[in-house]
């Protein structure tokens, strides 16, 4: 059987038609798949299909719905591993027991109705309420947020029904099992990772927060600090000239922050060298952009990067150290950087990179930004970064000599 995910758009279309889909999360998280459908489109039939998953039957809602229905947290202290926000379970007041597919459909649709109120329900009931984070999967990569996002993206009330899928042994269904269930029931199946990537590309998340002129040894730059919806990060664009109207596609560098390399000239990496080489190359051309993305340690953060350094001192390379700490070799995401380039009016550019992953980022659907040339940016080798650069080339595909 071919295990191939559906497109996010196909899943959204199915949700809009009232169909059930399967959503899979990461192996290093819950590692499970859930049946999901829109609360507004609940029917006896699709509720019955969800219940066949045999997990916990839940409904995701936003905080304003919880306030409207006067819901309280199920526990005073939530110490669940993933912080799932369980609230008071409800049944519609017209239910007999609330346990049947038809009665759950009645309860779900009433909760999704913006005109319903606390008096329309009895408590406790059989529909478990989960409060999703504002911002959805961009704030928390959970099924709760995914179900709410998908309903919203389909133009429906921001509330989704979900139920974990267990296999015949009562354990979480494996990916192979989930794809078999999808094929057997003709259901779309996507991953939360896909949904995150889709939203980053297709929704405008960046906004200019502050701008000024910045005189540097590379020329007078425009510095623009961006705010990113649902994130605390503040990426920065350093702009020389007007890259949106330049006759030739401008040079662009997408640079991930590196405290040790950029600020204190660490010899363990080539980051600081690449930062200054990029600014020098842009300066000599008289036009270009450097986007500075707060993604320390290939996205694992400064403390974890230093822990990785300690493992490298014991003989591991950078990839092995990341894996030993439970991370992928490269956790970075370039969706925000792409949005910044789009905000700056770029449509064509020459990308300063040796990293093929950055080129792949520009192939994401939704952006009319084309890389017309990849420009190498090769720093010098020293005894401290030699193995680091070899690992980049041999294990991560960087185009290095």
Q: Give the least confident one: 81-90, 153-162, 362-371, 382-391.
A: 362-371
> Does the structure show a pLDDT above 80 at 78?
no
Q: What's the average model confidence in pLDDT over 209-221?
A: 97
Report percent pLDDT > 90 for the chain. Answer: 64
- Which is more confident, 398 or 152? 152
Report percent pLDDT > 70 for the chain. Answer: 95
> Does the structure show a pLDDT above 60 at 28?
no
> Does the structure show a pLDDT above 90 at 233?
no
Confidence category of residue 360, pLDDT binned at 50, 70, 90: confident
Contact between residue 228 and residue 199 where contact means Cβ atoms under 8 Å apart: no
Domain with CATH 3.40.50.10990 in the chain: 204-295+332-396
What tokens appear for 111 in the block? 């909760």
Q: What is the dihedral of CA 362, 364, 366, 370, to 10 degrees?
A: 20
Q: CATH topology for 8-200?
A: DHBP synthase (3.90.870)
**Per-residue pLDDT tens over the stretch 176-205:** 999 999 999 999 999 998 998 888 878 888
Would you call 330 a catalytic residue per the annotation? yes
Confidence category of residue 1, pLDDT binned at 50, 70, 90: low
Q: What's the average model confidence in pLDDT over 108-119?
A: 95
Give CA–CA dist 225/336, Å, rounded.
13
Confidence category of residue 82, pLDDT binned at 50, 70, 90: low
Residues β-bridged to residue 34 = 23, 164
What local confidence, expressed as pLDDT, does residue 366 receive?
52
Q: How far is CA 231 from CA 140, 376, 385, 398, in A?
A: 11, 31, 32, 29
- Which is more confident, 86 or 20? 20
Q: CATH topology for 204-295+332-396?
A: Rossmann fold (3.40.50)
Of 134, 104, 400, 96, which is closest to residue 273 (Cα–Cα)?
400
State the DSSP string of 170-187: SSBPPHHHHHHHHHHHT-
Residue 277 DSSP one-character state: H
Domain with CATH 3.90.870.10 in the chain: 8-200
Q: In what order do the strands lie in the sheet with 86-92?
A: 86-92, 121-131, 58-61, 160-164, 33-38, 21-24, 189-191
- Which is more confident, 357 or 178? 178
- Active-site annotation holder among 330, 333, 373, 393: 330
User: Phi-psi region for residue 393, left (φ > 0), alpha (ψ -120 to 50) or beta?
Assistant: alpha
What local confidence, expressed as pLDDT, does residue 365 receive?
44
Q: How far is CA 297 from CA 256, 261, 266, 319, in A?
A: 8, 10, 13, 11
- Active-site annotation holder among 332, 365, 387, 393: 332
Q: Give the least confident one: 73-82, 206-215, 240-249.
A: 73-82
What local confidence, expressed as pLDDT, does residue 231 receive?
81
């Amino acid at each position: 059987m071919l295990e191939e995910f559906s497109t996010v758009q196909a899943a959204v279309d199915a949700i809009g038609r009232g169909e059930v889909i399967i959503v899979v999360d990461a192996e290093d998280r819950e590692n499970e798949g859930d049946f999901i459908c829109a609360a507004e489109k609940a029917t006896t039939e699709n509720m019955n299909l969800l219940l066949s998953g045999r997990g916990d039957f839940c409904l995701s809602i936003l905080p304003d719905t919880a306030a409207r229905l006067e819901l309280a947290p199920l526990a005073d202290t939530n110490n669940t591993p993933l912080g799932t926000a369980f609230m008071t379970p409800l049944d519609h007041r017209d239910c007999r027991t609330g346990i049947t597919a038809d009665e759950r459909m009645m309860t779900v649709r009433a909760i999704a109705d913006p005109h319903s109120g606390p008096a329309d329900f009895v408590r406790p009931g059989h529909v478990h309420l989960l409060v999703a984070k504002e911002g959805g999967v961009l704030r928390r990569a959970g099924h709760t947020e995914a179900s709410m996002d998908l309903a919203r993206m389909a133009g429906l009330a921001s509330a989704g029904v979900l139920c974990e899928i267990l296999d015949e042994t009562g354990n979480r269904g494996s990916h192979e099992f989930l794809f078999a269930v999808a094929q057997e029931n003709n259901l779309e199946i996507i991953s939360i990772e896909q949904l995150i990537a889709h939203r980053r590309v297709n929704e405008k998340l960046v906004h200019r927060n502050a701008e000024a002129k910045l005189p540097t040894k590379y020329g007078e730059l425009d510095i623009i600090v961006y705010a990113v919806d649902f994130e605390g990060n503040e990426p920065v664009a350093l702009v020389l000239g007007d890259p949106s109207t330049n006759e030739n596609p401008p040079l662009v560098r997408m640079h991930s922050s590196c405290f040790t390399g950029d600020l204190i000239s660490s010899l363990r990496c080539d980051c600081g060298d690449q930062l200054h080489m990029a600014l020098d190359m842009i300066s000599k051309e008289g036009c270009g952009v450097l986007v500075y993305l707060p993604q320390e340690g290939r996205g694992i953060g400064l403390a974890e990067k230093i822990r990785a350094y300690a493992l490298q001192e014991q003989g591991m390379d950078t990839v092995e150290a990341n894996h030993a700490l439970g991370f992928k070799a490269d956790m970075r995401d370039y969706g925000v950087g792409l949005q910044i380039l789009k905000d700056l009016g770029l449509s064509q550019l020459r990308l300063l990179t040796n990293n093929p992953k950055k080129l792949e980022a520009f192939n994401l659907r939704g952006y009319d930004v084309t890389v017309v040339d990849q420009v190498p940016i090769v720093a010098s080798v020293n005894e401290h970064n030699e193995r680091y650069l070899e690992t980049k080339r041999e294990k991560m595909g960087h185009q290095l000599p």
